[in-house]
Amino acid sequence: MSIQELDRQYVAGTYKRFPVEIVSGKGSVVRDAAGKEYIDMGSGIGVTAFGIADDVWQKAVTDQIGRVQHMSNLYYTEPCARLAEMLCRRTGMKKVFFSNSGAEANECAIKAARKYAAETRGAEYSTIVTLKNSFHGRTLTTLAATGQEHYHELYQPLTPGFVHAEPGDLDDVKRLCEENKAAAVMIECIQGEGGVLVQDKDFVCGIARYAQENGILLLVDEVQTGNGRTGALYAYMNYGVEPDVVSTAKGLAGGLPLGATLLGEKVQNVFGYGDHGSTFGGNPVSCAAALSVLSRIDEALLTAVRAKGAWIRAQCEDAPGIEAVSGMGLMLGLKTTKPAAEVVAACLEGGVLCLTAKDKVRLLPALNIPMGTLERAVSVILRCCAPEGNG
């Protein structure tokens, strides 16, 4: 059987895959089993921050693999401690809990909020207010947090204690907090899976102020927006707010599984021995990879991310077949006249890998995509969006 047939026979059918098997790559170019090359404008859904098999990243990973690939959390390891320090120094947060995915990073954020609220205000303060159209993960609790009904239908009953406010409507957030004895409000500054929708500055700052004044925690889900993606180290930094908890994953380790939940001043000591844990969390190889990734996300790189994002935007705004461009930095959504899925299929044919998010074509290229490669990709995308274009 071919790899595609084997996969269809033996891998659980949760993914509608394109009929392409990726076998290798370098930087922002990947190759399929037939030898065809593609420019990767999705970076594994914002994961391979410095592209495929990047030399610096690879060295950080292989050096650590040759030393110790895993140790239980009963003992100290250097990459975990150094990464926690780096994350705290660069954000002002106080402590970090490491896990393996975005959903787990959010689970930890929710646990921290519930425990903190129970201890400071009473166990009845357990509700987490999230936004409609949000995406927070696939575990039963993070599905409950996700404000999209169609994800909920098959898996009732979900974890109780989640309500969903209208994005952009501060009064709705306040009303839900008051009616439900809220422990926390959890938001994505830019809804990624929801269609690359940027939240208003006034809305985010309004939530932060209201939460602060009412003893409610602000949790920011930076799983997709974090680690340089939007042109700031974390997207909340574009808003000038100070969250109590920040969760991140996707791009953090540049292609290895790692989730991190950053705990601010109020909640820094909410967890004691045995209150939470993870066998793989803080894995030394993932942490060494993340140290390498984060140390390269400096002002120069962030400036380049913003410049490349602005360049893509300038090419796409007013282009035939593109009605609007949303997003920040290298997290962009194109509202196209043709159905997004049709554009993405044409791009694939034309040698460019793109993503969709709801009705948008979503672009999440590697943060260091070379300008020449980006130019080639965008010319294919523009051609595929144009009404007469066929890729």
Ligand X SMILES: *Cc1c(COP(=O)(O)O)cnc(C)c1O
Q: Is 249 in the site for ligand X (CB under 6 A)?
A: yes
Q: Which range, of 90-98, 102-110, 273-281, 380-388, touches ligand X by CB under 6 A?
A: 102-110
Q: Is 188 in the site for ligand X (CB under 6 A)?
A: yes
Nearer residue to ligand X within complex by CB, 106 or 373: 106
Beta strands at 352-353 and 37-40: parallel, antiparallel or unpaired: parallel
Nearer residue to ligand X within complex by CB, 197 or 223: 223
The label of the residue with tokens 């509700």 reads: 127
3-state class (DSSP) for residue 356: strand
Nearer residue to ligand X within complex by CB, 95 or 229: 229
**In the bound complex, what is the minimum distance in angstroms from residue 15's beta carbon to ligand X?**
12
**In the bound complex, what is the minimum distance in angstroms from residue 100's beta carbon to ligand X?**
8
The Cα–Cα gap between 241 and 246 comes to 12
Please tell me the count of residues contacting ligand X according to CB under 6 A: 15
* DSSP β-bridge partners for residue 98: 260
**In the bound complex, what is the minimum distance in angstroms from residue 230's beta carbon to ligand X?**
12
Among 192, 228, 251, 255, contact with ligand X (rule: CB under 6 A): 192
* Structural element, H or E, at residue 172: helix 170-180
Q: Which range, of 52-60, 218-226, 229-237, 290-298, touches ligand X by CB under 6 A?
A: 218-226
Q: Is 103 in the site for ligand X (CB under 6 A)?
A: yes
Among 135, 162, 203, 271, contact with ligand X (rule: CB under 6 A): 135
The label of the residue with tokens 């939460």 reads: 211
The Cα–Cα gap between 360 and 241 comes to 28
**In the bound complex, what is the minimum distance in angstroms from residue 99's beta carbon to ligand X?**
9
Q: Nearest-CA neighbor of 145 among 132, 165, 130? A: 130
Q: Is 223 in the site for ligand X (CB under 6 A)?
A: yes
The Cα–Cα gap between 101 and 277 comes to 13
Q: Which distant-in-sequence residues (6+ apart) come within 8 Å of 102 by Cβ?
A: 136, 137, 221, 223, 224, 247, 248, 249, 250, 259
Q: Which range, of 18-26, 133-141, 207-215, 289-297, touches ligand X by CB under 6 A?
A: 133-141
Q: Nearest-CA neighbor of 42 among 286, 255, 249? A: 255
* DSSP β-bridge partners for residue 96: 262
**In the bound complex, what is the minimum distance in angstroms from residue 13's beta carbon to ligand X?**
18
Q: Is 107 in the site for ligand X (CB under 6 A)?
A: no
Among 48, 101, 283, 292, contact with ligand X (rule: CB under 6 A): 101
Q: Is 141 in the site for ligand X (CB under 6 A)?
A: no
* Structural element, H or E, at residue 29: strand 29-32
**In the bound complex, what is the minimum distance in angstroms from residue 225's beta carbon to ligand X?**
7
Q: Which range, of 116-124, 219-227, 268-276, 377-385, touches ligand X by CB under 6 A?
A: 219-227
Nearer residue to ligand X within complex by CB, 51 or 102: 102
Q: Is 162 in the site for ligand X (CB under 6 A)?
A: no
Nearer residue to ligand X within complex by CB, 102 or 329: 102
The label of the residue with tokens 């898996």 reads: 155
**In the bound complex, what is the minimum distance in angstroms from residue 1's beta carbon to ligand X?**
28
Token reading at 177? 């907090």
Among 102, 254, 264, 281, contact with ligand X (rule: CB under 6 A): 102
Q: Which range, of 98-106, 120-128, 163-171, 205-213, touches ligand X by CB under 6 A?
A: 98-106
Q: Positive or negative CA dihedral for 223, 226, 231, 236?
A: positive
Q: Nearest-CA neighbor of 228 among 237, 219, 220? A: 237
Q: Which distant-in-sequence residues (6+ apart) come within 8 Å of 250 by Cβ?
A: 45, 46, 47, 102, 223, 224, 226, 227
The Cα–Cα gap between 391 and 381 comes to 8
DSSP symbols for 245-291 = EEEE-GGGGSSS--EEEEE-GGGTTS--TTSS--SSTT-HHHHHHHH
Among 95, 114, 115, 136, contact with ligand X (rule: CB under 6 A): 136
**In the bound complex, what is the minimum distance in angstroms from residue 179's beta carbon to ligand X?**
25
Residues near ligand X (CB under 6 A) are 101-103, 106, 135-137, 188, 192-193, 221, 223-224, 249-250
